[in-house]
Amino acid sequence: MQLDLFAALQDDDTPKPPAPAPAKPPVRHEVPAPPIETRASSSTAVPARTAPPRTLPMGKIADPSQYAFNVGEAVANTWHKNHGGTRIEIPIGIVASLALIGQKDKKGPDLKAQILAQNDRDLLEMYRQIWASHWMRRPDLVERARILHEWANEEKHTRHELHMVRAVTKTALDKGLFDLTGHADPYLRSQADVLSPTLTMMRSTGAMQGLGEFHTPPQVTDAMAWAALADLSAEISDDGKSLAPGQSILDPAAGTGGMLRSAAQQIRHQGLDPADFTWAMVDIDPIAAACAAVNAMVWGLGPRVTVACDDSLANPRAVEDAMKQARGAFEHRDRTLGQAKMIAAVRQMQGLLGRVAGTAA
């Protein structure tokens, strides 16, 4: 069964490519979102599960969405006040890159201090390595996010560009980005979407209106996700079933993925793992779609995630087309790794033969 969240507004260690979408059309649910304060008393409350709801960790931030907004606002101010230029994919990409890493050992060296202690060239190389390491696992999502990281692989960078990379990095870390994204637990990493306010603040109001781009407040997406998932649970419970792993959740106008973040958190509250579901996001804006791809990794949505950069109204097969592209990305990765292993094996053999020849001499 596939749930279209957008309809709520209407009357081995190597992951495999996302599975094909179900052949049957998505089920649409015409349920208005209840006020946040009345969720618990809603008549469409989620029925009891066979597994009890998970005990979720408490976050340290009182208002994560406001915290995320502060990070985005500070990054935008740093970029614009220092005349960063029109390439807004650079500051957004820096925030996205930092969101993909975290402090593995809380008692270990301070990650922020380590990052800022690097010289400009090493800092740039760090960003390249972040994306390279994630490409090994999710080449499809890294490819979708290319606009956010291809700048780091350019051969030449001006002194001002390197200065701006450092300035934005310092601002994001000083404003506490890792307080939002640096957690090991995906529930804590999913408390807010930091890329949405960053993108919003980096763009002028006129540019956003020209794109038809309006980001839904997180409080609204939380309420809508609750209503949609409650409606799905009520509907399928009539057949003796329940919200269960393997079901699909789609947002055909996803932006940076805020609706799916809310849905994933509600699924966790029901004692389930979002990684066991199938997710699909579509957005016409390349930077928004790139942010959605990054968020899918940050929020731990799992191996069955497809992000399409397309017009879902003009192309009803946007998700299927994106799945085909994703399979191509995985095949390219496998070919590349196969060639790398072959080269490594040849070099190892050459070294062995060289040592044998040296011994014989």
pLDDT in tens, 61-92: 889 999 999 999 999 999 999 999 999 999 99
Phi-psi region of 147 (alpha: psi -120 to 50; beta: other; left: phi over 0): alpha
Cβ neighbour number for residue 44 with a 10 Å cutoff = 19
Domain boundaries, the chain: 2-11+214-324, 64-211
Lookup: tokens for 135 = 């490409």
Mean pLDDT of the chain: 80
Lookup: tokens for 40 = 């618990």
Place of tokens 């097969």: 317
Q: What is the mean pLDDT of residues 285-313?
A: 97
Q: What is the mean pLDDT of residues 207-213?
A: 45
Q: What is the pLDDT of residues 111-127, one digit of tens each?
A: 999 999 999 999 999 99
Asked if the model's pLDDT at residue 235 lies above 70, the reply is no
Phi, psi of 3 (to 5 degrees): -105, 125
Please answer whether residues 186 and 276 qualify as being in contact, where contact means their C-beta atoms are separated by less than 8 angstroms.
no
Q: What is the pLDDT of residues 30-50, one digit of tens each?
A: 333 333 333 333 333 333 344
Lookup: tokens for 124 = 């740039």
- Tell which CATH classification among 3.40.50.1360, 3.40.50.720, 3.40.50.300, 3.40.50.150 matches the domain 2-11+214-324: 3.40.50.150
Asked if the model's pLDDT at residue 231 lies above 60, the reply is no
Please answer whether residues 127 and 152 qualify as being in contact, where contact means their C-beta atoms are separated by less than 8 angstroms.
yes
Phi, psi of 199 (to 5 degrees): -65, -45
pLDDT of 2 reads 54
Question: Regarding predicted confidence, which is higher, 301 or 223?
Answer: 301
Question: Regarding predicted confidence, which is higher, 243 or 147?
Answer: 147
pLDDT of 110 reads 87
Q: Pick the range with the lowest mean pLDDT from 119-133, 241-255, 341-355.
A: 341-355
Cβ neighbour number for residue 60 with a 10 Å cutoff = 11
Predicted TM-score of the model (pTM): 0.77
pLDDT of 358 reads 56
pLDDT of 31 reads 30
Please answer whether residues 58 and 34 qualify as being in contact, where contact means their C-beta atoms are separated by less than 8 angstroms.
no
pLDDT of 102 reads 76
Q: What is the CA radius of gyration of the chain?
A: 22
CA 172 – CA 94 distance, rounded (Å)? 9
**Angle ∠(154,300,135) on CA atoms, nearest 5:** 30
